[in-house]
Structure 1
């Protein structure tokens, strides 16, 4: 599995920022070195798409007094970014006309690059487990005025995204509150099919699906709210491992948490929620029982 350009951009930006700060230079001064705005330096350091030529990297390496090994690492990361970008970037960019929400490009790049995804959901089935009909019902609820062709394009994105589950090296650990199973999105027929889909995917060797039932004792999950914890493999060029990221999806905007203390709080929360979740086999039985309750 390739890690794509997202992780290489993040690693490059992280190293450039570390070297700049060690030299006690601000972003404006760094921008003057290569003739760009401080905002462009900020985008580069944040791992966002921007030009990362060898000319820029060498000039900044000179200004930051980088060692030969540091310069070599930066150039290797920049090459990895450009090599991946030549393939056209992430496949999901071809669906820009579907009206998918802003910011999805960044998340999709992280998910595509991740080696492990752990998620706790209190509402809505995670996208990686959704059926087409369930996804369609969400789209019509979220954007009732959306043209049908854009709705179908969104569904194509969701189904294409699920191809990642076939990668045995991609570990997925899902914990769902029972409310996710009982919220009748799309009606009983849609929910029955969706729950059977959850039970089926949960049998994959790289996927774990567990449920926190309503009768579980008081747990942290109802306080924390839904989140995704993403962990990443080594970068091919340098062997660096990007720090994990916590993704919190909100109605008015998304949140990405990367500070070690923040990530640890969510990692600890996931462990605490895991403590009250029933095991995968019991969870599968519960999911199928609720599917039968929908009368389908």
Structure 2
């Protein structure tokens, strides 16, 4: 799913709808554009990083679209082209395979709702904590590659300065007690969490070990991303659930799947401490870790 953005998804979905309405097959469209059927499939699935305006006009003619429908497609294609200039592109070779797709979604999101059973979320990590994780993941990596990962993490956190962006985080207590990088690194990380949780657009809550059984033990960590309106269409892209796995990432977009995770977060939140009590817990654990 590398290179996909919100504009990709919206453009692909509209092109598929228009094609079906016109009664054309993907094979016929591929013949029209002199490309492969697989390419058409990738384009309609929102996975193609570039869609030429020449193709848009050819498809608009073939599908007998109105002028307004054509303009919407062209606007989305232009947004897609602009997205290729995103700040993280120079770092792509150092990112985990497919992670640039997540970066595009994170950059576009207006709200992120996160449950973490392990590891502090990337948007809240200190450079030292992120560096420690990188060395754990790939102990043989060149120092330059590790430092690029740290740069990306720091740059991502600029998102938090946007007051229109909301971050709602619930952490299992194990996240706070797992001393990634050692006591000093973890203490600094915990003090960072305590500070970030006081920002008006960030909520940080913890589920303590003593909490009764909850769905978080079954779901594993996940992120629910919700988006603003697209400039070209005024449409709101459907939310996405991101599930990070060691062997590969999972993106869930079906309404029923997303709603299931949304309900799970509500259930997990019911056993979470409030933000003030969470901050007290974080600070007490930080004192145990180091100065």
2:85 to 77, 84, 89: 89
* Secondary structure in 2 matching 1:219: coil
**How far off is 1:67 after superposition?**
3.4
Tell me which residue corresponds to 1:62. 61
**How far off is 1:5 after superposition?**
8.3
Number of residues of Structure 1 aligned to a counterpart in Structure 2: 289
After superposition, the C-alpha distances for 1:66-94 in whole angstroms (9 at most, x for unaligned) are: 33332232122223223x14xx5211111
1:249 to 244, 250, 253: 244
TM-score normalized with structure 1 length? 0.93
Tell me which residue corresponds to 2:15. 16
After superposition, the C-alpha distances for 1:154-176 in whole angstroms (9 at most, x for unaligned) are: 10110111111000011000000
Q: How many Å separate the matches in 1 of 2:200 and 2:4? A: 28
Distance change in 2, residues 1:5/1:139 (3 Å): closer
Asked if the contact 2:229–2:236 (Cα under 8 Å) also holds between the matched residues in 1, the reply is yes
After superposition, the C-alpha distances for 1:32-56 in whole angstroms (9 at most, x for unaligned) are: 1111111111221122234322321
**How far off is 1:23 after superposition?**
3.3
Asked if the contact 2:171–2:206 (Cα under 8 Å) also holds between the matched residues in 1, the reply is yes
Asked if the contact 1:40–1:50 (Cα under 8 Å) also holds between the matched residues in 2, the reply is no
Q: Gapped runs of 5+ residues in structure 1?
A: none
Q: Which 4+ runs in 1 deviate beyond 6 A?
A: none
Asked if the contact 2:8–2:80 (Cα under 8 Å) also holds between the matched residues in 1, the reply is yes
Tell me which residue corresponds to 2:156. 161
TM-score normalized with structure 2 length? 0.95
Q: How many Å separate the matches in 2 of 1:68 and 1:95? A: 39
